[in-house]
Structure 1
Amino acid sequence: MKLSIERATLLKAVSQAQSVVERRNTIPILANVLIEAEGNSVSFRATDLDIEVVDKADAMVERAGATTVSAVTLHEIVRKLPDGAMVTLTDDSAAGRLTVEAGRSNFNLATLPKEDFPVMASSEYQTNFGAPSPVLRRLFDKSKFAISTEETRYYLNGVYLHIADSDGGHVLRAVATDGHRLARIDADMPEGASGMAGVIVPRKTVNELRKLLDDDEVQIAVSVSETKIRFATPAITLTSKVIDGTFPDYTRVIPQGNTRKMEVDAADFAKAVDRVATVSSERSRAVKLQLDEDRLVLSVNAPDAGAAEEELAVAYGDERLEIGFNAKYLLEIASQVDRENAVFLFNSAGDPTLMREGNDQSAIYVVMPMRV
């Protein structure tokens, strides 16, 4: 195999591949990226056995072929090469070496046989549809903060993507929860998605997928089966196993009868929470919200460090209420608001609170209170 490729193109392809690779693994080949050159393109394939990413790039292929080389080492080399450099990759399979040349730089890397590289079995996808990049980005970006990190409740370690009924008909919905907070984000159902099985997309896949969704112009081809999900752009294909488990009935957690309504400037609210939480060294310190007519007082009391209080003007016309929340959870939810105003709907100091962006019902958040 011998090919020449522009440094920026190579860096983009290799950086996507190396981030999938697990740093600590007992199978040496999984630390490698499979490079396959043919025609006028080259593909870089990496896997951790749960996720597989294939990145295709244009290249001048002098001699077709394939080999595998350390993904992290190759990425570090390419990253340090000068901008605009032309990189030549030459594989000597007999010697088990890959030569990387650019200008006066020359690197000689150990390779492993391409035959040993595990390729994820292709699945029969029951559902195939296309969705614009910004739509998928919004679904995952706004929900992923609520993914659980508790390994024992593995079925909460991802985003539940499914088709749901809504007032306006069917929607494509992403839900994530860790038992303390919940995010539910809706988008118009894409054509062809109606029969889609609900799947739990793992946290690592959600993070890797984010790199595919940067370009607003790209249409993402989504394929779903009961065990796998695939996202594809013209250049990159990301295939992942889905979490084998049943996502809980989240609809029971979403409060329906919360009538006490507070409207507040989302940015001002987030900054105020951040400021009062500064006196506490504990990340989970409770912030107390005291609500009176058109007035909110945020306070934190940390006996060992001190206390803080800040007042905000809000729109609130119900009876007086005192309620406490984990400061970190409040900040994460407030930071999801794209619109100017956040609307909080309370019931009592012990019941879950609902938050949405203005009158928009397509993104709602639930947060459990804390005792203060």
Structure 2
Amino acid sequence: GIKKSVAAEIINQGSMTLPSKILYEIVKESGSDSIKIEEKDKNWAKIKAGTSMYNLAGTASEEYPDFPEYNETKLISLPCDLVKELIDKTVFSVAQERESNYTLTGILFEKGKNKEGKSILRMVSSDGHRLSIMEKELDKESDKIIIEKNTLIPRKGVSEIKKACEGQKKFSIGSDKKQIVVKTKNALMIVRLMNGEFPDYGSIVNVIEKKNVIEIERLGFLESLKRTNLFTEDTFNAIQLSVDENKLVLSSQNMDYGNAKDEMEINYTGEPLELGFNCRYFIDTLQVMRSDMIRAYVNSDQSPCLLEGDADQGFISIIMPMKI
């Protein structure tokens, strides 16, 4: 549920329920800085917006469901930038609703410790073909936050939490076993959590030994991927990455259009490799990163690829290979 207040001139106090979609469209298309809403008999509302007048059918406010209860004392203040970065670097790899594993259609929200023993908040997402992990350190005040084990936030709820960050420096947040609560100066949002357990992602991270290391300029790699992706098949976006000494060759083929090839200089430590991946997954990851130079690690031509960068502390992306 979402509850929000806005500044208004109140002539007579009262309440009623109006259909949100058509009310939104009225406001959007009005071209006016303000609108006037007047309650009429039998739950009708008279709305004046700009040069237009509307009569909109509503329902009694008593019929609207009760807003969920929450514990105000459990809410802890967090910087909006911290939460926004957690979301931005994980939401892109959440599984779509059609995916078979229901728990992958949400984001795992955790509190834990990093390798240095400092308290962190972590978000994790996966669609079964890629894995994104982002964690941020907490200061002394933020460390008071309590996150229940296996807190799974649905994708839509995560998007609404991000919207709540807009225009705010801080907001209050807290959770229990059934819901997560977000409160700003003029809005309150309660998101129902998902049931089920998120898969164990630690085993995937630990399997990558980092023995073959590609160091590459991020923006140049991103542009090369976009060019090569023009000739991939739409279903799988498959590309081949050929790595040898200090050169990376990207190639793709399309049954209707032909093929493409692009080359880049890299810093490489390891054996020659022929790798196959979904090009779209690399593009999605590189677009949320900030590092000028990134590192890609692979064990072999059949193993996942791990991406990280110095200016993206706390973030790793793992992409599963494809057979080309």
TM-score by length of 2: 0.93
CA RMSD of aligned residues (A): 1.8
Q: Deviations over 1:247-305 (max 9, x none)?
A: 11111111341221111111111111111121234241311111111110000123443
Structure 2 Cα separation of the partners of residues 186 and 126 of structure 1: 25
Q: Secondary structure at the match of 1:201?
A: strand
Q: Does the aligned pair in 2 maintain the 1:97–1:108 contact within 8 Å? A: yes
Partner of 2:218: 266
- What secondary structure sits across from 1:162 in the alignment? strand
CA distance in 2, matches of 1:127, 1:252: 33
Match of 1:30 in 2: none
Letter in 2 for 1:206: V
1:69 is matched with 18
1:96 to partner: Cα distance: 2.1
Structure 2 letter corresponding to 1:325: F
The whole-number CA distance in structure 1 between the counterparts of 2:44 and 2:313 is 57
Would the aligned equivalents of 2:26 and 2:49 in 1 still touch at CA under 8 Å?
Answer: no
Alpha-carbon shift at residue 359 of structure 1 (Å):
6.7
Which range moved further: 96-105 or 217-226? 96-105
Identify if the C-alpha distance between structure 1 residues 327 and 256 changes in structure 2 by more than 3 Å, giving closer, same or farther. closer
Structure 1 residues 326 and 195: alpha-carbon distance in aligned structure 2, compared to 1, 3 A threshold: closer
User: Given that residues 289 and 312 in structure 2 are in contact (C-alpha distance below 8 angstroms), is that contact kept between their aligned partners in structure 1?
Assistant: no
Match of 2:136 among 187, 203, 209: 187
From the superposition, tell whether residues 156 and 120 of structure 1 become closer, same or farther in structure 2 (CA, over 3 Å).
farther
Task: Give 1:119's aligned residue.
Answer: 66
Seen in structure 2, the aligned counterparts of structure 1 residues 176 and 122 have a Cα distance that, compared at 3 Å, is: same
How far did 1:315 drift? 1.2
Answer whether contact 2:213 2:297 (CA < 8 A) is retained: yes
Amino acid in the other structure paired with 1:309: K
Q: Distance in 1 between matches of 2:113 and 2:67?
A: 33
Structure 1's 341 and 112: CA in aligned 2 closer, same or farther, altered over 3 A?
same
5 Å-filtered alignment, 1:165-176, equals 165-168=113-116, 169-176=118-125
User: For 2:194, what is the secondary structure of its paired residue?
Assistant: coil
Distance in 2 (CA, whole Å) between partners of 1:126 and 1:158 is 26
Q: Distance in 1 between matches of 2:224 and 2:17?
A: 52
Q: Which amino acid aligns with 1:180?
A: H
Match of 1:319 among 271, 288, 302: 271
Which residue in the other structure is 1:202 paired with? 154
CA distance in 2, matches of 1:303, 1:58: 58
Per-residue Cα deviation, 1:117-170 (whole angstroms, up to 9, x for no partner):
112331457843211111100001110011111453111111100112211222
- Corresponding residue for 2:297? 345
Q: Does 1:57 align with 2:9?
A: no
CA distance in 2, matches of 1:200, 1:53: 19
CA contact (8 A) 1:184 1:363 kept: yes
| Helix, strand or coil at the partner of 1:338 | coil
Q: Is the 8 A contact 2:119 2:143 kept in 1?
A: no
AA in 1 matched with 2:55? N
Match of 1:357 in 2: 309
User: Which residue of 42, 47, 50 maps to 1:95?
Assistant: 42
Q: Which runs of 4+ in 1 moved over 6 A?
A: none
Uncovered stretches (5+) of structure 1, i.e. residues with no partner: 1-51
Aligned equivalents of 1:339, 1:197: Cα separation in 2 = 32
Q: Does structure 2 conserve the Cα–Cα contact (< 8 Å) formed by 1:124 and 1:225?
A: no
Deviation, 1:116, is 1.1
Rounded to whole Å, the distance in 2 between the matches of 1:121 and 1:359 is 40
Counterpart-to-counterpart distance in 1, 2:304 and 2:223: 23
Among 149, 159, 174, which residue is 2:107 paired with? Answer: 159
**For 1:67, what is the secondary structure of its paired residue?**
coil
Structure 1 or 2: more strand by fraction: 1
Q: CA separation in 2, counterparts of 1:70 and 1:194? A: 36
- Please say if residues 290 and 296 of structure 1, whose CA atoms lie closer than 8 Å, have aligned partners that are also in contact: yes
Report the AA paired with residue 347 of structure 1: N
Distance 1:55 1:206, change over 3 A: same
CA contact (8 A) 1:197 1:225 kept: no
CA positional deviation for 1:206: 1.2
In 2, Cα distance between equivalents of 1:106 and 1:195 = 48
